């Protein structure tokens, strides 16, 4: 899979978080790449232009709380049980759309799957060489970390 670099992915993710959720993030000084560092995962696939790829977003609980409470404008203690997960699903949809644009989606038609919440135990069985992702980004906010992996599906 060609056409996406870490800097592009990181810039896209931080831009989205700022505009969509008013959460300021930056490239993590000490990135966390292990699945065990994250509690919630959202998976999407994209297909077009001869490419078939997977996008995986993984967030730790502090990041999720910060994301959801910022979008909803509520205090973390007032978050509903499902709201943090829903916020990550929506973020996944927008991030995948940005990945499509980076890959040339303005001029090549891509189809995006719906975002799907994935249990940590199912990560190993996902299509896509996510363990050796083509492109990966880890950003940190005030409270937590978000990891984004993009990998080709053979």
Partner 1 sequence: MSYRVLIVDDSAILRLSIKRAVLQTGVKEDDVFQAGNGQEALEALAKQSVDLVLLDLNMPVMNGHEFVKACSQHPTLKNQAIVVVTTEGNQKRIQEIKALGVRGVLRKPFEPEDLRQYVGDLVGGKS
Residue with tokens 């056409």: 3
* Min dist. Cβ of residue 114 to partner 1 (A): 9
Asked if 10 touches partner 1 (CB under 8 A), the answer is no
Window of 58-66, 108-116, 119-127, 132-140 that interacts with partner 1 by CB under 8 A: 108-116
List the alpha helices (DSSP H) in the chain: 6-21, 61-72, 83-102
Q: How many CA atoms lie within 13 A of 69 on its CB side?
A: 13
* Min dist. Cβ of residue 29 to partner 1 (A): 25
Which residues lie across from 55 on neighbouring strands?
A: 44, 150
Asked if 23 touches partner 1 (CB under 8 A), the answer is no
Q: What is the largest CA-CA distance in the chain?
A: 46
**Cα separation of 13 and 7, whole Å?**
10
One of 6, 8, 11, 16 touching partner 1 (CB under 8 A): 16
Q: List interacting residues with partner 1 (CB under 8 A).
A: 15-16, 19-22, 68, 71-73, 83, 86-87, 90, 93-94, 96-97, 100-101, 105-110, 112
């Amino acid at each position: 899979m060609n056409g996406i670099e870490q800097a592009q992915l990181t810039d896209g993710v931080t831009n989205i978080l700022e505009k969509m959720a008013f959460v300021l993030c930056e490239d993590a000084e000490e990135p966390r790449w292990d699945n065990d560092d994250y509690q919630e995962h959202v998976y999407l696939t994209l297909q077009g232009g001869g490419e078939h790829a997977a996008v995986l977003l993984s967030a730790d609980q502090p990041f999720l709380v910060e994301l959801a409470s910022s979008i909803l404008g509520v205090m973390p203690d007032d978050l509903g049980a499902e709201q943090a997960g829903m916020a990550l699903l929506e973020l996944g949809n927008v991030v995948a759309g940005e990945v499509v644009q980076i890959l040339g989606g303005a001029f090549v038609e891509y189809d995006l799957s719906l975002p799907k919440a994935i249990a940590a135990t199912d990560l190993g069985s996902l299509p896509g060489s996510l363990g050796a992702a083509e492109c990966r980004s880890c950003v940190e906010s005030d409270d937590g970390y978000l990891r984004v992996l993009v990998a080709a599906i053979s």
